[in-house]
Amino acid sequence: MSKVTVAKFGGTSVADAEAMRRCAAIVTQTANTRVVVLSASSGVTNLLVDLARGTLSAAEQEIHLKKLKSIQDNILTELGNPSPLRETIDSILKEIADMARQANQNSDAALEDRLVAQGELMSTRLFTEMMNQLGHKAVWFDVRKIMRTDSRFGRATPAIEAIHNLAQQDMAPLLKDHIVITQGFIGANADGQTTTLGRGGSDFSAALLAEALGVDELEIWTDVPGIYTTDPRLVKEAHPIPEITFSEAAEMATFGAKVLHPATLQPAVRKGIPVFVGSSKDPAAGGTWVRESTESSPLFRAVALRRNQILLTLHSPNMLHACGFLAQVFTILAKHGISVDLITTSEVSVAITLDQTGSQSSGRSVLNETVLAELNAFCKVKVENDLALVALIGNRMSEVNGVGTQVFDAVSEHNVRMICYGASTHNLCFLVPESDASLVVQKLHQRLLGH
Ligand code: ASP
Ligand code: MG
């Protein structure tokens, strides 16, 4: 077969029939696109997450179910209400209502995942029908057959080797004659129970499938034409970056640029698969190519911002000259599946920020009473919330003289905390008060990335 591309479309790209038609046009403009990975239609996962929490009143539940139905009905109507799709969607909606009621009585993580997974199951059914109506040989594929994960419901870890073997066995043979339409975000454990990869996980799904199938390119279609130098809603002068390396893009995704789910690039890096990021609303606008190496490697490439950071300061006199204090802290956090982000230390305290990106599908905070109690048992813990993390992304940043002066000069009027610099040559980051965050990003962009 010639070149093969996996294309992933996000929630806004499949929000309604009109948006879906644009996706169909993108998929079919080249013969290479053989696998299409979809998110749930915009808003659907949020509605399902609310239902899955099991805390809505009966009246609120009804409103949520009505909204879900109307999103599906609008697309179905555009498609001419065909059978048996109409019945399939109705039965999924009925199942959602049943599960929502069950969640209100006794919610558990497995049920939550089964419920939130329904959004992708519906959007892919609808899109397959649309493609078939347009005369393309599209086939619906239940990704749970091949997207094997562990059983950590809400944020499951994919089993790379199993996914490879299953994809080669069950999906690869279909690509010769079909365009395969499948779900992002969802998977299944070895017992066949539905799992999810965490909010925004569809990008990650697409990359995992691209890796497993060994394809040539991965396209991530979203609602912005590529990766920008910073969030254009914050800075008017922000501009799309035509080409960026895997390392820089991974730092950006991790440190708050919303375009890509932070884990997306790992599979692409492992297999060296170039990733294109573009807008399904405006494919002609071009986009960003993420690759192993790029022609230019500027000192400053972008500024990323991540809000709502949790800063924990742990203080203990026992830390003085002690061995193993940090090990104890990390053991507790690891036991609860909490990943540490930034870390700085002083004589008797250590400050850490917790990574909330890609948090559980349920949206629950990573920090809970149990963790805090366990930490409090051997040190004093202070928790602060009103902080934002600003990250400058670039190249050779820790190897060039004067980077610190340039950066901190630009933000000299702000209280900067927890500076992390040097662990990677691609990133310098720090915390600022939430209320200063936008201004700090604007100043950095103007000084270091303005044209
Ligand atoms: N539908 C899921 C979410 O909204 C996954 C995704 O869109 O990537 O989080
Ligand atoms: Mg998305």
What's the per-residue H, E or C state across 223-287? CCCCCECCCCCCCCCCCECCEEEHHHHHHHHHCCCCCCCCCCHHHHHHHCCCEEEEECCCHHHCE
The tokens describing 201, both together, are 């996980």
Indicate whether this model's pTM tops 0.85: yes
The tokens describing 19, both together, are 């948006």
CA trace torsion 411, 417, 418, 422 (10° rounding): 20
Atom 8 in ligand 1: which residue has the minimum CA distance?
200
Q: 201 CA to middle of ligand 1, Å?
A: 6
Helix (H) or strand (E) holding 312: strand 300-315
Q: 425 CA to middle of ligand 2, Å?
A: 29
Q: 362 CA to middle of ligand 1, Å?
A: 12
CB distance 305 to 47 below 8 Å: no
Q: In what order do the strands lie in the sheet with 179-183?
A: 138-141, 179-183, 33-38, 5-9, 217-222, 275-279, 287-291, 243-245
Closest atom of ligand 1 relative to the 10 alpha carbon: 7
Atom 2 in ligand 1: which residue has the minimum CA distance?
200
* pLDDT number for residue 256: 74
Out of 8, 23, 39, give the residue to mutate to test ligand 1, the one with the largest number of ligand atoms within 8 Å of its CB.
Answer: 39
414, amino acid identity: H
Q: 228 CA to middle of ligand 2, Å?
A: 17
279, amino acid identity: S
Q: b/e string for 258-281 if b means 16 or more Cβ within 10 A?
A: ebbbbbbbbbbbebebebbbbbbe
Closest atom of ligand 1 relative to the 199 alpha carbon: 9
Q: 219 CA to middle of ligand 2, Å?
A: 13
Question: Of the ligands numbered here, which is closest to the C-alpha atom of 186?
Answer: 1
CB distance 86 to 79 below 8 Å: no
Q: Consecutive 10-residue runs of the chain (451 residues): their mean pLDDT?
A: 92 98 97 97 98 95 98 98 98 98 93 98 98 98 98 96 98 97 98 96 97 98 94 93 94 82 90 96 95 94 92 85 82 88 88 70 72 91 92 94 95 94 90 96 95 66
Q: Which residues 6+ apart lie within 8 Å of 54 measured at CB?
A: 100, 103, 104, 105, 106, 107
Determine the Cα–Cα distance for residues 402 and 78; give it in Å rounded to an integer: 59
Q: 269 CA to middle of ligand 2, Å?
A: 20
Q: 341 CA to middle of ligand 2, Å?
A: 23
Question: Of the ligands numbered here, which is closest to the C-alpha atom of 39?
Answer: 1
The tokens describing 304, both together, are 């990323």
* pLDDT number for residue 358: 45
Out of 202, 205, 223, give the residue to mutate to test ligand 1, the one with the largest number of ligand atoms within 8 Å of its CB.
Answer: 202
Question: Of the ligands numbered here, which is closest to the C-alpha atom of 48?
Answer: 1
Is 17 buried (19+), middle (13-18) or exposed (0-12) by CB count in 10 A? middle
CB distance 384 to 319 below 8 Å: no
Determine the Cα–Cα distance for residues 221 and 249; give it in Å rounded to an integer: 16
Out of 41, 182, 185, give the residue to mutate to test ligand 1, the one with the largest number of ligand atoms within 8 Å of its CB.
Answer: 185
Atom 6 in ligand 1: which residue has the minimum CA distance?
200
Question: Of the ligands numbered here, which is closest to the C-alpha atom of 360?
Answer: 1
- Residue labelled with tokens 């305290």: 349
Q: 262 CA to middle of ligand 2, Å?
A: 12
Q: What's the distance, Cα to Cα, between the start and end of the chain in Å?
A: 43
Question: Of the ligands numbered here, which is closest to the C-alpha atom of 196?
Answer: 1
Question: Of the ligands numbered here, which is closest to the C-alpha atom of 258?
Answer: 2
Q: 193 CA to middle of ligand 2, Å?
A: 23
Atom 5 in ligand 1: which residue has the minimum CA distance?
200
Strand partners, 340: 354
Residues with CB under 6 A from ligand 1: 10-11, 39-40, 45, 119, 184-185, 199-202
Q: 427 CA to middle of ligand 2, Å?
A: 25
Strand partners, 303: 392
> How many CB atoms lie under 10 A from the CB of residue 299?
15
Out of 13, 14, 45, 183, give the residue to mutate to test ligand 1, the one with the largest number of ligand atoms within 8 Å of its CB.
Answer: 45
